[in-house]
Amino acid sequence: MNSIYDARERLKYIFIFAAILIAIVSVVVSDILIKDLAREEREKIEVWAEATRVVTSEEPSLNMNLILKIIQGNTTIPVLLCNDRDSVLTYKNIELPETGAEAFLQEKLKEFKNKNVPIAVDMEDGTFQYLYYDDSTNLKRLLVYPYAQLSVVAVFILIAFLALASTKKAEQNKVWVGLSKETAHQLGTPISSLIAWIEYLKTKDVDAYLLGEMDKDVKRLETIAERFSKIGSNPDPVPVNICDSIRSALDYMGTRISSKVHIHLELPEHPVLVLMNGSLFAWVIENLTKNAVDAMEGQGKITYTLEEKGDKVRIDVTDTGRGILKSKFKTVFNPGYTTKKRGWGLGLSLVKRIVESYHGGKIYVRWSEMGKGTTFRIELRKYKE
């Protein structure tokens, strides 16, 4: 059973690694394309700058139509041509506002200076002009595209995970409910038969002590059948003194576990009311106790501590057993997870379901150290009258 969850964990990490690798490759490829396009745009601007310089010359052999075509061919890259005093001589592909055009161009000039290295244009009279430019619209879109793409993919994967998790949880709920109802139904007939046999034996010369013990066990079976029948339904919770509920459950378990296991209670003397179903919560205490006894291999100490914190009640169950690896703190609550050679691995999963689904609380591994022990913590909301 344990290996199934190990395989799932490995598969999850492989999937995450693959997703990160795809994201990195996508960003790297996009970065290469962006650099190529930026280099190509700079080459175009250098040609444009040279064409602008040539226009000012008076060489009759030049093909002015070709030069003008080069100048007019730039329809996407915003440019500013300035003198050495940063006065704007001409501009292209920049939309000016209705007012404050000069101030607007100066702001654009500051912006362009921070974007790209300017191109110096050597004029024939010994002066220099400087061409400043911004990235084209296509280049800006390409800069944003990989991140937008990754965001869409991340949202898609998140939705897929949530949908799968929801489906898985719904299937687990159906299995739990179906199994519980069927178990309660199957227990009904033999319990009725045992009750009838006990009543019959009471009329015979049978040791009263033995009949009493048999009657206790049958009542126990009735309690178990009742618990299973409540799984999947909505049992009405009532205010219960949780201290009494814990003591009652442990009184039953005390005679059914090893005498080498010492149970220590640190519970307040005053009542602590919690809105709960007493029968189902007793099941939680019994399962945690059995789990602790197994972890300690039949000898050690189990401590139950109850603490009131604001409107919450915290119950810590601490054993001196073999402990749990930190990587397994959440896995131990998965259905089917077990470290025992024999067992279904449903105890802690059932505990989690009862605490969270039927009592609106939380249960988790608060502390554990290999070879020293484990503490499970239950958090429930106090009852307010």
In a domain, 49, yes or no: yes
132/111 Cα distance (integer angstroms): 9
In a domain, 222, yes or no: no
Whether 257 and 328 map to the same domain: the answer is yes
| Domain-located, residue 120 | yes
Domain final position from 87, 114, 135: 135
Question: Any idea how long the chain is?
Answer: 385
Q: What is the 3-state secondary structure (H, E, C) of the chain?
A: CHHHHHHHHHHHHHHHHHHHHHHHHHHHHHHHHHHHHHHHHHHHHHHHHHHHHHHHCCCCCCCHHHHHHHHHHCCCCCEEEECCCCCEEEEECCCCCCCCHHHHHHHHHHHHHHHCCCEEEECCCCCEEEEEECCCHHHHHHHHHHHHHHHHHHHHHHHHHHHHHHHHHHHHHHHHHHHHHHHHHHHHHHHHHHHHHHHHHCCCCCCHHHHHHHHHHHHHHHHHHHHHHHCCCCCCCEEEEHHHHHHHHHHHHHCCCCCCEEEEEECCCCCCEEEECHHHHHHHHHHHHHHHHHHCCCCEEEEEEEEEECCEEEEEEEECCCCCCHHHCCHHHCCCCCCCCCCCCCHHHHHHHHHHHHCCCEEEEEEEECCCEEEEEEEEEECCC
Q: In b/e form, how buried is each residue of 247-277, taking b as 16+ CB within 10 angstroms?
A: eebbeebeeebeeebebeeebeeeebbbbbb
The pTM for the full model equals 0.55
- The pLDDT of residue 316 is 97
Which residue reads 């795809």 in tokens? 22
The verdict on 38 and 123 lying in the same domain is yes
Residue 250 in any domain: the answer is: yes
Q: Are residues 124 and 249 in the same domain?
A: no
Which pLDDT score is estimated for 339?
Answer: 67
Q: Rounded CA gap, 132 and 40, in Å?
A: 16
CATH of the domain at 111: 3.30.450
> Is residue 119 in a domain?
yes
257 and 184 in a common domain:
no
Instruction: Establish if 194 belongs to a structural domain.
Output: yes
Domain boundary among 135, 161, 190: 135
Q: What domain range is 77 assigned to?
A: 2-135
| Same structural domain, 7 and 128 | yes
Considering the domain architecture, whether residues 131 and 155 belong to the same structural domain is answered as no
Contact in structure between 201 and 211 (CB atoms under 8 Å)? yes
Instruction: For residues 300 and 77, give the distance between their C-alpha atoms in angstroms, rounded to a whole number.
Output: 78
The pLDDT of residue 156 is 81
Answer yes or no: are the C-beta atoms of 224 and 185 closer than 8 Å: no
The answer as to whether 299 is a domain residue is yes
Number of folded domains that form the chain: 3
Q: Domain check: are 98 and 76 in the same one?
A: yes
Residues 260, 179 share a domain = no
Residues 196 and 248 in one domain: no
Query: Which two tokens mark 124?
Result: 């024939």
Last residue of a domain, which of 118, 135, 152?
135
Beta-strand pair 300-309/261-266: parallel
Which residues of the chain are modeled with pLDDT < 70? 1-9, 55-68, 71, 168-169, 171-173, 175-177, 180, 185, 232-235, 336, 339-345
Instruction: Give the CATH number for residue 318.
Output: 3.30.565.10
From CA 140, how far away is CA 124, in angstroms rounded? 35
Tell whether 196 is covered by a domain. yes
Could you tell me if 49 and 159 lie in one domain?
A: no
> CB of 372 within 8 A of CB of 264?
no
Q: What is the pLDDT of residue 222?
A: 84
pLDDT of residue 1: 45
Q: Is the domain of 377 the same as that of 240?
A: yes
pLDDT at 268: 94
Residues 97, 14 within the same domain: yes
